[in-house]
Amino acid sequence: MFNMATTAFLPKNLTGALLLVGVLSGCTMAPTYVRPEAPVAGSYPAAADGKAQYDAAELGWRDFFPDQRLQALISSALENNRDLRTAALNIEEARAQYDITAADALPNFNGNFSRTRGRTASDQLFPGQPAVGTAYQVGLNMTAFELDFFGRVRSLKDAALASYLATEEARQSAQISLISQVAQAYLTEQSYAEQQRLAQQTLDSRLDDYKLDKMRFEVGASSALDLRNSETLVQSARVSLATLARQRGQATNALVLLVGKPLGDLPAPQALSDEKIVSEIPAGLPSDLLNRRPDIRQAEQQLRSANANIGAARAAFFPTISLTAGIGNSSTSLGSLFSAGSRTWSFVPQLTLPIFEGGRNRANLSLSEIRKNLAIANYEKTIQSAFREVSDALVARGTLDEQLAAQDAFLKAQEERVKLTDLRYKNGIASSTDRLNAQRDLFSAQQSLIQTRQLRLNNAIDLYRSLGGGLNENTVTPKS
């Protein structure tokens, strides 16, 4: 057994070398990291109206989505969605890889005990008789520990750490995306559900009208054309009903996939016209996105990793110094293994100097520099894409409210048109074709209003997501 007193047997040069490890590990040949300038304008092309008390990145998704049915769906998706689960496992994988790389910066010690028995040839011994011997050895060894004079191991460790942090940012980005996808899939399913109910009501109403038109035709009060026009309205409603049933079923399947399990018992849904989704979110400045958006932070960590790899590639041009050492006891008998005079030690420093490697090191350095340039381009593109997403959402927000108001007014005008056309038709002034066109336009206007409401709510979700909202769940304190 060994105790702290064993260190007294270490040679002075080995002890000094180990004491240098802490100092040497701080050296690196990686370029000094400088964050690239954001390649976007200082403000968005559309102003962010409203005086909200929260930033999107701080506003919890339960506050942004007050619909209890939607909250239950999002909560289930965060727990069961396989893509998000994969992202979490990727974090664990990156953390394990970082731990492996970080372990290279520390010396590895191994304890060993061996018993050797062998025969020595007679011509190697005096007076020429063969001999059979046994040897016992016990010790503590340090194998090929690299003294990181030029920061190769340190650079690899920094690169692995940045890769791990990038993976964590990727998981957060996946969560934000998942929440917005669940919310929009929910709105899509609800939109189809409302349109399906509208189509069913329209079909029932047109069937009643068709029965009356058929009775009028049978008594000679209307023409065959009038009856066929009425039948056309019925069949058109049936086509719409069948189409919407299929679309709603597919939208439900998409929602189930995102949630990760069957929907089960959920609170009753709200009508799209009753949705209270927060849309008064200040956009702030584009520079805020650098800290709000995890996909931008992920791209920056990937850039840091590429920058650190340059340091490892540069260090490969310089000598590698490693130490192998051991202390222990050796004896020909087990009983005297720890007796006086059985102590042994070894100290083997090794220097490896690259002389000719066929241009491998130079190519590796060139490759690491190219990868850094690619990482810079990816970082800048990620910022530009985020800037565009926010700008698009702001532009849409500025017009969708006006579009919704116009669509609502258009529907009311269509309803009055249908009433007047029906009255004129019953009085024999308007034709059945006029009534057919008026009812078709009314049904189309009713569907368009539902779709516009969905579009406006989707825009609120897009803005919330593009500004980095969706990581927090609980309520935050409003800004003063």
Distance CA 362, CA 265 (A): 63
Q: Which of 361, 333, 458 is nearest to 152 (CA)?
A: 361
Record the pTM. 0.80
Q: In what order do the strands lie in the sheet with 109-120?
A: 109-120, 131-147, 320-331, 343-352
Whether 221 is in a domain gets the answer yes
Strands (E), 300-376: 320-331, 343-352
Q: pLDDT band for 283, please (50, 70, 90 cuts).
A: low
Mean residue pLDDT across the chain: 83
CB atoms within 10 A of CB 286: 19
Distance CA 52, CA 294 (A): 22
Q: Which of 413, 445, 411, 439 is nearest to 425 (CA)?
A: 439
Contact 283, 48 (CB under 8 A): yes
Q: pLDDT band for 51, please (50, 70, 90 cuts).
A: very low
Domain residue limits at 263:
37-81+151-317+366-467
Whether 155 is in a domain gets the answer yes
Distance CA 457, CA 59 (A): 17
Q: Which of 33, 467, 164, 477 is nearest to 293 (CA)?
A: 467
Q: What is the CATH number of the domain that holds 294?
A: 1.20.1600.10
pLDDT at 450 (0 to 100):
94
The whole-number average pLDDT for the span 374-380 is 95
pLDDT at 348 (0 to 100):
80
Contact 467, 389 (CB under 8 A): no
Whether 380 is in a domain gets the answer yes
Whether 421 is in a domain gets the answer yes
113 phi and psi, to 5 degrees?
-140, 130
Asked if the model's pLDDT at residue 276 lies above 80, the reply is no
pLDDT at 100 (0 to 100):
83
Place of tokens 């849409």: 396
The whole-number average pLDDT for the span 454-475 is 87
Q: Kind of pairing, strands 320-331 and 131-147?
A: antiparallel
Rounded to the nearest 5 percent, the helix, strand and coil shares of the chain are: 65, 10, 25
Query: What pLDDT, in 10s, does the model give residues 385-425?
Result: 999 998 888 888 878 889 999 999 999 999 999 999 988 88
HSE-CB of 447 using CA atoms within 13 angstroms: 17
Tokens of 285: 């400045």
Whether 192 is in a domain gets the answer yes
Whether 1 is in a domain gets the answer no
Query: What pLDDT, in 10s, does the model give residues 143-156?
Result: 777 877 888 888 98
Contact 351, 320 (CB under 8 A): yes
Q: pLDDT band for 47, please (50, 70, 90 cuts).
A: low
Whether 48 is in a domain gets the answer yes
Whether 124 is in a domain gets the answer no
Q: How many domains does the chain have?
A: 1
Give helix then strand counts, H and E, for the chain.
10, 4
More confident residue, 302 or 119: 302
Collapsed DSSP state (helix, strand, coil) of residue 222: coil
pLDDT at 412 (0 to 100):
95
The whole-number average pLDDT for the span 1-25 is 43
ω into 127 cis (within 30 of 0): yes
